[in-house]
Structure formats: C-alpha cells, structure tokens
Structure 1
Amino acid sequence: MEPGDVGLSTAPAPAAPASRSGRRRGALLPALGVLPFLLYVAVFLLLPVGVLAVEAFRATDPVTFEESWSTANLGTVTGGAYARAYLGSLQLSAVTAVLGAVLGLALAFAVVGTRLGRLLRRLVLTASGVLANFGGVPLAFAFLATIGNAGVVTALLTDTLGLDGFSLYSMAGLALVYLYFLVPLMVLTIVPAVEALRPQWREASDVLGASRWQYWRHVGGPVLLPPVLGATMLLFASAFAAYATAKALVGSSLPLVTLQIADSLSSNVVVGAENLGKALALGMVVLVGLVMAFYTWVQRRTSRWLA
C-alpha cells in the first residue's frame, strides 16, 4: 500500500438511530406540559357540567324530602316563567350582539383606515381591552350615577331640555349597558380580520374595472363575513351569560335566565328549587355550547384567509 491510498473523509458519520425510550420521552414531554391545562378544564369545566347533567334529573319530594330520578325539571323549565326567561335572554343577547357587531365593525374600520398612525390604533385597542373586561357591579353603578333616575346626566337633561321617559331599568336600558363592553370586545376580535384585507385586492379590482359594490360583493364581503359571524356569536354568548351587571342594575324585575337561576339556587321556600336552577343552567350550557361550536367552525374557515 502506497502512501496516500488511504484518505481522510470529512463527511460526518451517520447519526445513530434514536432509541425507543428516547422517542417515548420526546413524545411524553409535550403531554406533560399540557397536563395542567387538562386538569384545569376537567375540574372547572367538565366536572361542573357533569354535576349539572346529573342534578337536573333529580327531584325532591316536598313531603318526605326524598330524592328520585325524574325528568320533571326539564319539563318545568320549558314553560311558564322559565320559558319567558329564556326568551328574554335570547332577545336581549341577539339585539345587543347585532348592534355591538355593527358598531364595533364600524369603529374597527375607522381605526384601521385612519391616517393618524399606530398611536391612535394602540390607544383604541388598549381602551377596548380595558372596557371589554369592565362589568358587573361597578359598571351598573357607573350607569346609575350617570343616567339613572337620579343620575347627573338625567337631571341635567330634565332641567335644561325637559327630556324624560327613558328608563335605565328596562330591557332597552340593560341593552345600552351591555353595549358598553360588547362594542370593545367586537373591536378586539375583528381588527385582525379587517387588517387582513390586503390593499392589493382592492387595487386589482380597480384595475379590472370593478366598482366598490362589486369589490365588497365578490372579494371583501366573502373574506370578512366568516370572522364577523364568529365575532357576533362570541358577543351573543357573552351577553347571554352575563349575570352580575343585570343583577345589580335591574334585580329580578326582568325575565332573564341568569337571574332565574340565581333565584332558584337561593330559594329557601320551594322544595327542590335548586334542582330547577340546575336544569335551567344545563339548558343554558347547551345553548352556549351550540353557539361556541358554530363559532369554532367559523374560526376554522376564517383561519384560511388570515394565515
């Protein structure tokens, strides 16, 4: 063998195949990271829903106080005052969701299309993030002190302009209060979708001779419709599940399912009323679940355009 016949290779040696135990550890680590979230969902979401599903089918005898399995609670909550409560909550949620979606969409277009730069956009989004989470007793007190029967603005308008007749303690007044946090929530939800409308699409439609109506009919509208529908469903679910603001503002004077649930669970007079409250809550969970399932389906369709 002459010198130089044996060369040194600089190519890296092939890596040894990973062992089976190493692959298992690599697959187990992500699962361990998700485990706290799964435990949280199981304890604070699945377990309460399971308890409602069981207790809704329990009935208490008013004489012997013995509990038994029955579907009487479900039949009771679908009629009478309970049915009116469901209808009132559905009407209030639908009206406020549609109004909040329209006003929030208009504000989102104004923020995205403004020429004042990112500062105004940042201020609006920051304020929306704060206002969307401002509710409950503080929000009700703020409206009572402002436009309630003895509010500052109410007294000013009555003394100066003689305006009277609007009641904050009605369904219309409660809808006005709900819009205070639903419109900012719509802005936060829909601004990314509005920003996803690329200027090149509008320029291409102008080059091809399309009018503004044709652009929104065939390009902008189909792209923006799924996120708008999804955001409206989110507003509907938020308004339907709201409790503290309505309780602090109107008490039990309006037929709302959340107020009926609270009255049933706190009743010390009617035997087995807590089971009626749980049946009401179960129906509410089913309705909100259907809405959120539709919202998830719409969000999947939206992700294709926002990617």
Structure 2
Amino acid sequence: MTVALTEAEPAPAAAPRQRRRRATGRLAVLPLLAFTGVAFGIPALAMLNGALTVKDPATGATSYSTANLSASLHGAYLTALIGSVKLSAVSAVLAAALGLPLAQTVVTSRFRALREAVLTAAGVLANFGGVPLAFAFVATLGNSGVLTRRLGLADKGWNLYSFWGLVIVYLYFLIPLMVLTITPALDGLRTQWREAARNNGATAFQYWRHVALPVLLPSLLGGLVLLFGSAFAAYATAAAMVGSAVPLVTLQIADAISGNVLVGQENVALALSLDMVLVAGLVMAVYLPLQRRSARWLA
C-alpha cells in the first residue's frame, strides 16, 4: 500500500504542467482568432449594416429597414437565387456521381505513378476556373469552337451558352475536387471488411450496398455539400461565358455593384450577398457534422 501511494505521488505535480500547456495552446490561437475577426468579422458586419440600410431617394436620409432583404427575395433577384441553387445542386450531384468511381479506380490502381499523376492533375484542375476556363470552352465548344464545327454540334441543337452548357463547364473543376475530397475516405476502407464480406458469400455489389456505401455516406454527403458551395460561389466563369443569359445570384450582385439597379436599391447587392452567406452557413452547418462522423468511422 505504501509503495502504491509513493508511485502515485508525481501525478498531482503533472496536472499544473498540463494546465499550463493548455493555456499556452489557447494563447497561440489568439493571433488566428484576431486575424479571422479582422478579415471576416468586420466585412460581415459592414455587409449586414449595408443590407439593412435604406436611403431615401428624395431626401438622401438613411434608415434601417428590411426593404433590401425583401427586395432580394422577389422578382429577378429571387429567380437568380433559385437559378444559382439549381445550377449548384445539379452540378454537385453529377460531379459526385462521376468523381466517386474515378476516385475508386485511382485508389485500387496498382500503379503508384498513375495515382500520383491523377491526384496531381486533380489538384490543378480543381483550381482552374474563371476567365481562362471560360475562354477554353468557348474556343472548343462555343458557336465557332473547334469541336462544334468539326462535329456539327450546332446543327444538333448544341448551345454552350445555356444552363446545361454551364453545368458541363462547372463539371470540369468539380469532378477533380470530388476526387480530392473522397479519395482519403476510400483509402480508409479496410481490406478486412471486403475480405470478411467475401468470406460470408457477399458479392461486390452487396459489399458496396451494405458495407462500403454506409461507411462512405457521411463523406459522400460532405463532398456533395462542398461541391455545392464551390459551384454556388463561382462567378468569373459564368460572367465571362454566359453573361445574363443564365440568371445567377453572383451576376445579379455584380450588376447591382456596378449601379445597374433602380434608384434607392443601391444596397440590394449587400442583401444578395447576405443571402449567399446564409446559404453558405447552412452548407457548412451540414458539412462539419458529416465530416466529424466520417472521421469516427474511418479513424
């Protein structure tokens, strides 16, 4: 009994050290929190203040009101918001459906060079967007594009400057993003699970239906949400390629900022931006719990 007490004596002395380490860790986070507050907090407050500020065209007096928010949810603004949600949802679902088998092929490949090449290319293509991407597709699949003329796509009703044309362009960077997102989850699938399923007489389809997909579901949904957010926030590609042909909320914000609005609605752009922030907040509220649940399964 005496020996046990003697061996346990150093434990209380270690507790203050652990508390000091925790305190030091919290202090180390303060610069990051300060930067986040300045870089994101102040612009968010300014956007909220502008979205709730209404200017009287006659007197020039300003007051707080929800008129801008109400205007952002009616007419052409609402059509643009719904169009962005629809475009993002369709693009995200297609990219997830096409990216999952591609990522599985990369993970199960025996050639390490192929895996590294595909993942490297995916990292580059996932960040390739904006005006260069729009120009590449216009030169290839536009009305006078190389493939459009050689394959006679114009005679078959093809139109790049449409909703589905924009979906195809978005898939160019969303599919690589899905590959990068889902590959770590596929790596986490243990070979013992497949072997156990095979030993019990399960087919490959039954393994994926009852074992792999339930485990991957949080990661799949998280990747889908991430793809939705990326497509929802995209602006330069659509602006350079379709202009106002496809109603999108980001294009409406650009028009409002440039002054292409009615008198007294100058702050509608801030209200539209606040709508986007709310949608992005909902996306993150879904994404983070899914990621935590996926990490528990694949740890």
TM-score (norm 1): 0.88
Percent of matched pairs sharing the same residue: 58
- After superposition, the Cα gap between the structure-2 partners of 1:19 and 1:95, relative to the gap in structure 1 and judged at 3 Å, is closer
Contact 1:132 1:181 (C-alpha < 8 Å) held by counterparts: yes
Q: How many residues align?
A: 292
- Which residue number corresponds to residue 168 of structure 1? 160
- Which residue number corresponds to residue 50 of structure 1? 45
Rounded to whole Å, the distance in 1 between the matches of 2:249 and 2:214 is 35
- Following superposition, the deviation at residue 145 of structure 1 comes to 1.2
Q: Higher Cα Rg: structure 1 or 2?
A: 1
Rounded to whole Å, the distance in 2 between the matches of 1:169 and 1:291 is 28
**Of 94, 115, 126, which residue of structure 2 is paired with 1:132?**
126
- Which residue number corresponds to residue 36 of structure 2? 41
Amino acid at match of 1:101: A
- Following superposition, the deviation at residue 14 of structure 1 comes to 6.9
**Of 246, 253, 265, which residue of structure 2 is paired with 1:273?**
265
- Following superposition, the deviation at residue 106 of structure 1 comes to 1.2
Rounded to whole Å, the distance in 1 between the matches of 2:239 and 2:11 is 66
**1:112-170 deviation per Cα after TM superposition (whole angstroms, max 9, x unaligned):** 1223x211000000000000001111111111111111222222223xx8854211111
- Which residue number corresponds to residue 3 of structure 2? none
Amino acid at match of 2:211: V
- Following superposition, the deviation at residue 19 of structure 1 comes to 11
TM-score (norm 2): 0.90
**Cα RMSD (Å) of the superposition?**
2.3
Amino acid at match of 1:167: N
Amino acid at match of 2:193: W
Rounded to whole Å, the distance in 2 between the matches of 1:97 and 1:18 is 50
- Which residue number corresponds to residue 8 of structure 1? none
- Which residue number corresponds to residue 238 of structure 2? 246
**Of 295, 299, 302, which residue of structure 1 is paired with 2:287?**
295
1:93 aligns with 2:88: yes
Contact 2:255 2:261 (C-alpha < 8 Å) held by counterparts: no
3-state secondary structure, aligned to 1:273: coil
3-state secondary structure, aligned to 1:76: helix
Rounded to whole Å, the distance in 1 between the matches of 2:14 and 2:200 is 57
Which structure has the highest helix share of the two? 2
- Which residue number corresponds to residue 144 of structure 1? 138
- Following superposition, the deviation at residue 208 of structure 1 comes to 1.6
**Structure 1, unaligned runs of 5 or more:** 1-10
- Which residue number corresponds to residue 4 of structure 1? none
- After superposition, the Cα gap between the structure-2 partners of 1:96 and 1:23, relative to the gap in structure 1 and judged at 3 Å, is closer
**Structure 2, unaligned runs of 5 or more:** 1-6
- Following superposition, the deviation at residue 72 of structure 1 comes to 1.1
3-state secondary structure, aligned to 1:274: coil
